[in-house]
Structure 1
Amino acid sequence: MTSDKYIKIKAPSSKSLSHRALIAGALSEGTTVVLDPLDSNDINRTMDCLSTMGAKFHVDAGTTNVTGMTSGPKGGQKEPEILEMRDSGTTCRLITALAGAGKGLFRIQGTPRMHDRPIGALTDALESQGVKVTFSDKDGYPPVTLEADGFSGREMDISLEESSQYLSGLLLAAPLAHETAIINVVGKKAVSWPYVALTLNVMEDFRVSFEVETMQDGTWTKADWRMVEKVIPGEIRFRVNPSPYQRDEYRVEGDWSNASYFLAAGAVGNKAVKIEGLSTDSLQGDRAIMGILESMGARIESDSSGVIVHPSKLHGVEVDMGLCPDLVPTVAVAAAFADSPTTITNVAHLRIKECDRLEASAAEVMRAGGKAEMTDDSITIIPGRLKKTERIVFSTYDDHRLAMSTAIFSLAGIEAIPEEPGCVNKSFPGFWDEWAKVTKGNGC
C-alpha cells in the first residue's frame, strides 16, 4: 500500500516504560541516558518526585540524562519532603514504594481525586518492611506521611485486586532492601499483569538480580517470568536480591495505549491509518488492541515499519479486558460503530482510575446515540443510531483517556468537541495535532 492511501501517525513513547526507565536510572550509580522518554505531565510528576529524593535530570531534544541518587531516596529529617503527585496515579503508586525504601520523612499528596484513590494495600506492605505510615485524613488514602529507614527485606504480601502498580512499585524498590526481599501475591484476583512484566523487563535490562517462583505440586519452583501469562494469587512470588541498577543507555519504545485511538480510527473511519514506532512483540499489555480489533472484524497488517488498520465492518464481541484496562474507553467507542453488542468483562478496577471509567464510558457512548449497560465489573455497548451531523460536547472528566477515545466519534460524522481538551497533556500532549491528521484524512 502506498503512503497516499493511508494516514500516517508516529506513536508517542510509552508512558509506562518512561516511568520505569527514569526510576531505574534514578536508582542507578552514575549517569544513565534515557532515549525518547515521553514528554507529558505524568512523566514530569515522576521526575519531579525523583529530583526531590536526590536524582538529577538534564533534558535535551528527546534525550534525558539521569544522574542517580547517592545511597537511595532521601527524605526530610525533621519535616517531610513533599512528593506532589497531582493526578498521576502511576507516579503515586511507584514513588510511594520507593519512598518506603528510602531514608527519612516523605509526604505523599495530590489532587482531591488522588485523595479518593486507595493506597492502603501498598502501605500495609510498607509497614511490614518497618516503614511508619501516618494518614492525614482517611485511612488507606493519601495524603500520607512515611517515616522510612530502608526496607528490612522480610517477606511482604501484596494484593493486586485494585492495581498492579502496587507490585511494580515494590519490585522497583526491593533491590534497595537490606537483605533479599520476597514479595507474595495475595487476594482473590490479580489485574493488569502485563504492566508487571514491563517492570520486570526494565529491572532485567538494568541488571537487577531477581527470580520469579511459581507453586508447582506444592513446591516453589523458579519460573521464566516471560512465560507467565496469568497471575494466580498464592501461586506466585518474587525474590529480589539487594543489587545495584546498572545501564548506560535505554531507549523507550512506542506506546500501544496511546496508539489505540488511531488504530481504532483506522477500523471505523473511511481511510486506513498507519501507526509507526510500535513493536509488535512488545510486552505492553495494550498490544492486545490488535487482537481485539481483529476479533471485531478489523483488517490489520503489520511489519517492521508499523501497523496499518483498514476501514472494516465491525461486529460485537465478548472480551475479558482485565489485563488491558486502559483500552476499555477505546474499545467502548469502537464498539458503538459495530453491528451487534460488545461486552467487556473483568474491569471493576476501572472505577478507581482518574474517574469511574465504566460510568464515564457508558455516559459518553449514550451521549453519542449508542446504548450501554453495566454491572459491577463489566460494560456492554449496544450500538444505536449515532447522532451524525450533530455538534456534541463530550465530557472528559479530567481524564485523558476519555478525551482521546471520544474523539473517535468524529469519524461518525459528529462534530466531537472535548470539554477539556488540555487534559490529554497527562499522557499525550501532541494528541490533537496528530488527531487533526485523522480528521483531515477522513474529510471531517
Structure 2
Amino acid sequence: MTAVIRPSTLKGTIPAPPSKSAAHRALICAALSKGPAGAAPISESNDMLATCAVLEAFGFPSSRKGQSIAFGPNRPTQPVFPCRESGSTLRFLLPVAAALGIEGEFTGEGRLPDRPLEPLLSLMKSHGSSFSADRLPFHLSGKLTSGLFELPGNISSQFISGLLFALPLLEGTSEIHITSPLQSAGYVELTTQALTQAGIKIEKIPEGFRIPGSQQYQPILLSVEGDWSGGAFWICAGALSGKIAVIGLNLASAQGDKAIISILQEMGASVSIKKDTVIVTPSPLHGCRIDAGPIPDLIPILAVTAAYAQGDTEFYNAARLRLKESDRLSVTAEMLRALGGNVEEFEDKLIVHGGSPLHGGTVNGANDHRIVMSAAVAACCCKEPVTISDAQSVSKSYPDFFEALKKLGGDCDVF
C-alpha cells in the first residue's frame, strides 16, 4: 500500500494505543495460567495476532471480544508456530515452548529469520533443547532444564524476558546472570511486573535474577497500559506542528520509551503533564546528544524532530537499529535525505544537521512500521506532499495509525 500525505497542521487530543510490549507479556501470563484469564485492551496489530496464534498452537486457545482477549481450556498442540515478523513473539515463546516440552517448527516472515537469536539458542542447547537449524525456520525438540543461564546485558532484553517467562515452569531453581550492564532494563522490569501480577516469584540478586521452579501462573485479567512508543509519534508531532494532548499514558511506566518526555524537554520542547495526559505545543528546538541504546524504537521519529531543531543532534550507541524490521539506522537516514534533510550515517550513529525545513518527496517505507509512521509525521510538516511506500506495515504495531492521523487533522490518502 501507498500513503500520500499533504502538508497540514496536526492538533487535538488522541488516545495512546495499547502498549505492544505490555500486551505481549499480558497475553503470555494469561495463557500460562490455569483457569479463566485474559488481557485488555489488546490491539489487532500483526504482532498481537502472531503471539495469539503461537499460543493457540501451543494448546492455549483464545477468543476476542472487543479489545479483550480471553483464554479457554487447553487443547492439543499444533506442529507449526508462526511468529510472522514479531521478534517478541519468537524470543519470548521459544523458551516457553522448551520449558513446556512442546516440540514443533518455528517460522517467521520478512527480516525475522535474519534477526539474531544468539546467545539464546546456545544457552537453551546447553540446557536440553535441540534445534534443526540456527535460524528460522527450525524444529525445536527437547525439554529445557533448570540451572545457570549467563548472557550479556548489551544484547536484546527479549532473551532475558523469554527466560523469565519459562524458568518458573521448570523443576528446580534457576538463575540468570547478566554479565554486562543491562541496556533495556525498563523492558525487563515490565516483564517482572507482569510476572508478579500473575503470582510468579522472581528474586533480584546482584548477578541478575533467581527464579524458583515448579511455580504456577495464577488466573488474572491483566490490564494493558498505553503505549509510549506509539504515543511518541503524536508527542513529537505536537513539538513540530500544533498543540497535541496524548491521553492514557502511565507516567510511572517501566516502558523505556517514556524517555521521549525527557529527551524532548532537553531539546527545548514545551511539555506539560496532567495525570495520564501528555500535552505538547510547538516551541523552538535545539539539537543534543541522544543515547539510542535504551530507546531504539524512538530514533526514527526523533530524527524527524531533530531535522527541525537548530544545530546538530547525534544519535549514538545505535548499532542495534540495523537489526530491526529494516536496517533502521540506514533507512532513517535515507528517509530524511529523501525529504531534503541533512544527515550523516556512521556504523553505530547518526548525526542530523537540523534547522532547514523538509521539503517533501518520496520515502521508501522499507516494510518498517516505525519508518512509515515517522515519515507520515514528517510529511505533515513538509512544504510539498510526501508519498510513502509500504504503508500497510503500520499494522505490525498500530493498525489505526492513519485514522488517528486524520483525526488530528492530517490530510492523507492510503491506497
TM > 0.5: yes
Query: After superposition, what is the alpha-carbon deviation per residue over 1:132-191, rounded to whole angstroms, capped at 9, x for unaligned?
Result: 2220xxx3x222221122x321111223433111111111111111111111123x5533
Residue 259 of structure 1: how far off its partner (Å): 0.5
Taking the aligned partners of 1:384 and 1:303, their CA distance within structure 2 comes to 31
Once the two structures are superposed, the pairs formed by residues 256-275 of structure 1 within 5 Å of their partners are: 256-269=228-241, 271-275=242-246
- Runs of 4+, deviation exceeding 6 Å: none
C-alpha contact 1:90 1:165 (8 A) present in aligned 2: yes
2:32 to 27, 35, 50: 27
* 1:413 corresponds to: 383
Letter in 2 for 1:67: G
2:402 to 410, 428, 432: 432
* 1:248 corresponds to: 220
Residue 112 of structure 1: how far off its partner (Å): 4.6
Taking the aligned partners of 2:411 and 2:86, their CA distance within structure 1 comes to 33
Taking the aligned partners of 2:111 and 2:73, their CA distance within structure 1 comes to 31
Query: After superposition, what is the alpha-carbon deviation per residue over 1:309-354, rounded to whole angstroms, capped at 9, x for unaligned?
Result: 0111110000112111111111111101101110111121111110
* 1:422 corresponds to: 392
* 2:288 corresponds to: 317
C-alpha contact 2:61 2:72 (8 A) present in aligned 1: yes
* 2:201 corresponds to: 209
Taking the aligned partners of 1:438 and 1:421, their CA distance within structure 2 comes to 18
Residue 305 of structure 1: how far off its partner (Å): 4.4
Once the two structures are superposed, the pairs formed by residues 136-151 of structure 1 within 5 Å of their partners are: 139=134, 141-149=135-143, 151=144
Once the two structures are superposed, the pairs formed by residues 190-339 of structure 1 within 5 Å of their partners are: 190-214=182-206, 235-269=207-241, 271-339=242-310
Residue 412 of structure 1: how far off its partner (Å): 3.0
Secondary structure of the structure 1 residue equivalent to 2:405: helix
Query: After superposition, what is the alpha-carbon deviation per residue over 1:243-272, rounded to whole angstroms, capped at 9, x for unaligned?
Result: 111142211010000000000000011x20
Taking the aligned partners of 2:110 and 2:220, their CA distance within structure 1 comes to 39
Residue 129 of structure 1: how far off its partner (Å): 1.8
Residue 240 of structure 1: how far off its partner (Å): 4.0
C-alpha contact 1:130 1:148 (8 A) present in aligned 2: yes
Taking the aligned partners of 1:387 and 1:328, their CA distance within structure 2 comes to 17
Letter in 2 for 1:34: A
Secondary structure of the structure 2 residue equivalent to 1:358: helix
* 1:175 corresponds to: 168
Taking the aligned partners of 2:30 and 2:358, their CA distance within structure 1 comes to 49
* 1:378 corresponds to: 349
* 1:57 corresponds to: 62
Taking the aligned partners of 2:32 and 2:45, their CA distance within structure 1 comes to 21
* 1:398 corresponds to: 367
Residue 276 of structure 1: how far off its partner (Å): 0.8
Taking the aligned partners of 1:386 and 1:300, their CA distance within structure 2 comes to 22
Query: After superposition, what is the alpha-carbon deviation per residue over 1:349-390, rounded to whole angstroms, capped at 9, x for unaligned?
Result: 1111101111011111111111212332211111253343x4
Letter in 2 for 1:254: G
Secondary structure of the structure 2 residue equivalent to 1:204: helix
Shift of the 195–100 alpha-carbon distance from structure 1 to 2, 3 Å rule, reads: same
Residue 83 of structure 1: how far off its partner (Å): 0.9
C-alpha contact 1:369 1:384 (8 A) present in aligned 2: no
Q: Does 1:91 align with 2:89?
A: yes
Secondary structure of the structure 1 residue equivalent to 2:142: strand
Letter in 2 for 1:15: K
C-alpha contact 2:287 2:310 (8 A) present in aligned 1: yes
Taking the aligned partners of 1:100 and 1:345, their CA distance within structure 2 comes to 36
Taking the aligned partners of 1:314 and 1:247, their CA distance within structure 2 comes to 48
C-alpha contact 1:182 1:239 (8 A) present in aligned 2: yes
Taking the aligned partners of 1:155 and 1:75, their CA distance within structure 2 comes to 29
Taking the aligned partners of 2:384 and 2:296, their CA distance within structure 1 comes to 26
CA RMSD of superposed structures (Å): 2.0
* 1:227 corresponds to: none
* 2:42 corresponds to: 37
* 2:6 corresponds to: none
Taking the aligned partners of 2:220 and 2:209, their CA distance within structure 1 comes to 29
Taking the aligned partners of 1:67 and 1:326, their CA distance within structure 2 comes to 34
Residue 75 of structure 1: how far off its partner (Å): 5.5
C-alpha contact 2:316 2:349 (8 A) present in aligned 1: yes
Judge which range, 191-200 or 375-384, deviates more. 375-384
Secondary structure of the structure 2 residue equivalent to 1:13: coil
Taking the aligned partners of 1:87 and 1:286, their CA distance within structure 2 comes to 21
Secondary structure of the structure 2 residue equivalent to 1:120: coil
Residue-pair matches, total = 402
Residue 11 of structure 1: how far off its partner (Å): 0.7
Taking the aligned partners of 2:191 and 2:61, their CA distance within structure 1 comes to 22
Taking the aligned partners of 1:360 and 1:120, their CA distance within structure 2 comes to 24
Taking the aligned partners of 1:387 and 1:267, their CA distance within structure 2 comes to 15
Shift of the 316–36 alpha-carbon distance from structure 1 to 2, 3 Å rule, reads: same
Q: Does 1:361 align with 2:332?
A: yes
C-alpha contact 2:251 2:276 (8 A) present in aligned 1: no
C-alpha contact 1:28 1:69 (8 A) present in aligned 2: no
Shift of the 238–405 alpha-carbon distance from structure 1 to 2, 3 Å rule, reads: farther
Secondary structure of the structure 2 residue equivalent to 1:157: strand
* Unaligned runs of at least 5 residues, structure 2: 1-9
Letter in 2 for 1:408: V
Taking the aligned partners of 1:351 and 1:16, their CA distance within structure 2 comes to 20
Taking the aligned partners of 1:384 and 1:297, their CA distance within structure 2 comes to 14
C-alpha contact 1:25 1:68 (8 A) present in aligned 2: no
Letter in 2 for 1:185: I
Query: After superposition, what is the alpha-carbon deviation per residue over 1:389-411, rounded to whole angstroms, capped at 9, x for unaligned?
Result: x4x22111101000001112122
